[in-house]
A and B are shown apart, each in its own frame.
Chain A
Amino acid sequence: DAKTTQPNSMESNEEEPVHLPCNHSTISGTDYIHWYRQLPSQGPEYVIHGLTSNVNNRMASLAIAEDRKSSTLILHRATLRDAAVYYCILEMNSGGSNYKLTFGKGTLLTVNP
């Protein structure tokens, strides 16, 4: 299975941009890069996903390296509510038409007021 590597933790200040890196050097050509985040004692929440091109949505931006071996989740202005564990995941085909997410340890983002 293709795996991802993320820093265990990162810290940011409120109102500042945050760049969360992810390495996925064994990614295959058809693997999508997904980002989810999990607040304490809650289920994860979808953030963004992409394949090759950079992606933007109301929550964040996803910058994907040209060789696809790494990506960066960008929160443009961190707020206290963005403090969570951020997971970078490669969605894998689990057989037939089913795809599954394999969660790694993620990055614990702390946002300072």
Chain B
Amino acid sequence: GAVVSQHPSWVICKSGTSVKIECRSLDFQATTMFWYRQFPKQSLMLMATSNEGSKATYEQGVEKDKFLINHASLTLSTLTVTSAHPEDSSFYICSATRTSGPTDTQYFGPGTRLTVL
């Protein structure tokens, strides 16, 4: 199988601080990684798409200076929520694909629950 891990699984931080979430593909090389956000009782919303070694492509309405994405290797992508505020509290989920074609399965991580006080 293809396993994607996220760290941490949950984090609580104070308003104004920055939080980094890691997403790793454990047994495959991920050409493309995706970051989603999910609020309670709602569906997943794609935040950005990142290809290894390239700048991330952000969805409309997602602030790239607030949600910094780094995809420095084929097995690791990080999402940093800068100057977090209570409204950023959410479930953040990453996914990874081996390549970037239309039939490639996205393998999802278990998610990171962020609570900003």
- Which of A's residues lie within 8 Å of B, judged by CB? 30, 32, 36, 38, 41-46, 49, 87, 91, 93-95, 97-106
> How far, in whole Å, are A105 and B108 apart by their CA atoms in the complex?
18
Contact of B46 with A32 in the complex, beta carbons under 8 Å = no
Task: State how many angstroms separate the Cβ of B93 from the closest Cβ of chain A.
Answer: 5
B44 touching A94, Cβ below 8 Å = no
Bound CA–CA A42/B105 (angstroms) = 17
Give the CA-CA distance A99 to B106 in the complex, in Å: 10
Residues of B within 8 A of A87 (CB): 43
Q: Kindly identify which residue among A46, A97, A106 contacts B107, using a CB–CB cutoff of 8 Å.
A: A46
Pair A43/B93 contact, Cβ less than 8 Å: yes
Min CB distance, A20 to chain B, in Å?
16
Which residues of the other chain, B, contact A91 by a CB distance below 8 angstroms? 102-103
Number of A-B contacts (CB under 8 A): 63
In the complex, chain A residues whose CB is within 8 Å of the CB of B110: 42-43
B77 within 8 A of A: no
Q: Apart from A46-B106, A94-B57, what are 14 other A-B pairs with CB-CB below 8 Å?
A: A41-B113, A43-B4, A43-B93, A43-B95, A44-B95, A44-B106, A95-B57, A99-B102, A100-B46, A101-B46, A102-B46, A103-B44, A103-B45, A104-B43
Q: Are B104 and A99 in contact (CB under 8 A)?
A: yes
Contacts of A93 in B (CB 8 A): 102
Who on chain B is nearest to A50 by CB? Answer: B103
Cβ of B43: which chain A residues have Cβ within 8 Å of it? 87, 103-106
Chain A residue, CB-CB nearest to B105: A46
A44 CB, nearest partner CB in chain B, Å: 5
8 A/B residue pairs, CB under 8 Å, sorted by A:
A42-B110, A42-B111, A43-B109, A44-B95, A99-B100, A99-B101, A99-B102, A101-B106
Choice from B34, B101, B109 contacting A97 with Cβ under 8 Å: B101
